[in-house]
Structure 1
Amino acid sequence: MVAGPTQTGPGSAVPRRVVVAKPGLDGHDRGAKIVARALRDAGMEVIYTGLHQTPEQIVATALAEDADAIGLSVLSGAHLTLFARVLDLLAAEDASDIVVFGGGIIPEADRSQLLERGVAGVFGPGTSMAAIVEWVREHVPEREVG
């Protein structure tokens, strides 16, 4: 799913491009789709990768789509491993400027580990879509054209 308007010209801002992904074997994507829609409705371009993506596929998509951010949704309990692998792959591609954030069922103790590792933001169940949209606007800079 790719959504959101693109206007280009000297001095105009390009909408933020966000890849929303479901890494691993977790088959529950309702939350990821809700976040993707909220970001799209806020004027961002969103690329939703679908279920069962590997970290390699997610990073390849982010690079191919010239993404500004990657939002990961993990409910399987493999968040520490999956987030770390995405960060490592981005670093290997010299693409650590792509902001990584995510959410799901992530214990508080693991949230601090993810943040220390380089994940920019972690959201749990009950986080409002308005809060996530605002966070992305504050932490993912818009790019200027021209």
Structure 2
Amino acid sequence: MNIRFNTFNTHQRGTTAIEFSFVFALLFGVFWAIVSYAMPFFLYQVMNQSVSEAARYALRVDPELTDNEIITVVNTYLVDEPLAVLPTTFKTIITTENPSPSMIATEVMNSQSYRTLTVSLNYPGCSTSAPAGCVVPALNLFGVSIPTLGAFEAQASVHLEQL
């Protein structure tokens, strides 16, 4: 009496690999979605914190400086200090002049009683027409792009001094 128990195993070869590929694809998609949506949220929070810090820094600048000198000092501080927490790739996206104008906009508005400094950081979003601005490359699955990011802006204003 010779009983073979291997017949069941021979018919099941490769099922583990196929099941793993299905589960891996699902888990990778979820992981990619988490990472690709977390990075823009991180960038947005850093941008908000950076413009606030730059506006506060402007309060420590000599009020005798001209508007252009204040803008130069604040922009230099913004790139060197608060934005230093960003990886080089993110910093390059924000501070580069190519392919679009710089995303940093600083201006001083003069009124009758005070000067107002406004610091802005603009992120143009991620689109297929401008992939250089993408923080995380988009993953296209079945016609759905993950992530689809729109433009966002961080802005802070501060009154410098009485004139």
Same fold by TM (over 0.5)? no
Q: Tell me which of the two structures has the higher relative contact order, counting C-alpha pairs closer than 8 angstroms and 6 or more residues apart.
A: 1
As a proportion of its length, which structure holds more helix? 2
**TM-score, normalised relative to structure 1:** 0.28
For the pair shown, the structure with the greater C-alpha radius of gyration is: 2
